[in-house]
Amino acid sequence: MKLSDFTTLTFDCYGTLIDWESGLLAELRPWLTKGPADPTDDELLAAFGAEESRCQTATPNKLYPEILADVFLALARQWTWPASQDDARAFGASVGRWPAFADSAASLQYLKRHYKLVILSNVDHASFARSNEKLQVDFDRVFTAQDVGSYKPDPRNFDYLLRELSALGIGKAQILHTAQSLFHDIVPAKALGLRTVWVNRRKGREGGGATPAASVRPDAEVASLADLVALHRAETG
């Protein structure tokens, strides 16, 4: 696979461009001091990932801040910390506080010179807008779960992406889907015939973090967005 074969990079955002695991831990860790449980970071992230997936499947029409609020209350019950509806809503509004990966902004600015850049995210438009301030690039299109009414890995999200891009004259063969989550992104993208790059931000660490496990072979793997830029530079000279 050659990177120059593509005209359009479609991106997952959270876990790929925004460091959602660090953001989640910063928001959740203080609550553990209010209860008796002391899970490790990986245990807390795994519990979040499992509950988030359950909530997104059960209530796909809820906006992402509402999903986060439901997950927060479920984790509070699991780890026995006191939590109110106001606390849950505050956690639901935390997306804009999650940091970008250090290489995201500069890498996106480079890639923007060579590709159309498109977001396919499991959040809502308002949450993404706050994150995009950290990414410092104008995406050509932004598609969210709010647009589709379902959450990845539901294939409807990728069907929506392909329809919208086809209307712009961008065919499937021109698209390279770029994402951290095998579960949310690489599996459904591959099932629909898209080429994929796995941005393995957890390379060298055990477990899947906040992402449920999945088995699939991406077309390429990099450890960071900066590595993808380096591959493009090496290929194009």
Q: Known catalytic residues?
A: 12
- Residue whose tokens read 């770029």: 178
Within 10 A of 167 (CB to CB), how many other CB atoms are there? 8
Rounded distance, CA 49 to CA 212, Å?
6
Q: Nearest Cα to 112, choosing from 226, 9, 13?
A: 9
Exposure letters 79-97 (e unless 16+ CB within 10 A, then b): bebebeeebbebbbebbbe
Task: Report, in angstroms and rounded to the nearest whole number, the Rg of the chain calculated over CA atoms.
Answer: 18
**CA atoms within a 13 Å half-sphere pointing along the CA-CB vector of 57:** 8
Residues linked to residue 179 through DSSP beta bridges, in sequence order: 198
